[in-house]
Amino acid sequence: MIVLYREIFMEPSMPIALVYVVVLLCLLYLMIYYASYYRERNNRTSTICSVVAVLLMIGVGDAFVNKRFYQQMERVEVIGQFEGFDKIVRERGYEVVERRGDIVVLEREYE
């Protein structure tokens, strides 16, 4: 098996980011709702919601800046298929993405 090309790249993991954004929007909605409709009765709840929303905004901003919503992927183009090639590829944790004649594109996720 001869390696023609090897690439390591970052791919976004959107479900995690989407959950953070939805929770943030819900907290912001609650904060605005409590602040506008229940000014004096629920001042404590409004304060708690606003503190949690600000902390969550800081956390989401930090996660986007430091790319914590991304997962690292490795893509390898190899040539030279032989007997038992698919078994060896699976044992090493790669997944066959594409086949172009003798060239096989493999991909795996870094942890």
**Residues 96, 61 share a domain:** no
Contact 109, 72 (CB under 8 A): yes
Residue 99 in tokens: 């086949």
**Residues 59, 17 share a domain:** yes
**8, 10, 9: which is closest to 68 by C-alpha?**
10
pLDDT for 20 equals: 76
Q: What is the pTM of this model?
A: 0.56
pLDDT for 50 equals: 74
**Residues 20, 39 share a domain:** yes
**Residues 60, 43 share a domain:** yes
Beta bridge pairs of residue 5: 77
pLDDT for 2 equals: 86
**Residues 60, 74 share a domain:** no
pLDDT for 53 equals: 73
pLDDT for 42 equals: 62
**64, 63, 42, 44: which is closest to 52 by C-alpha?**
44
Q: State which residues of the chain have pLDDT below 50.
A: none
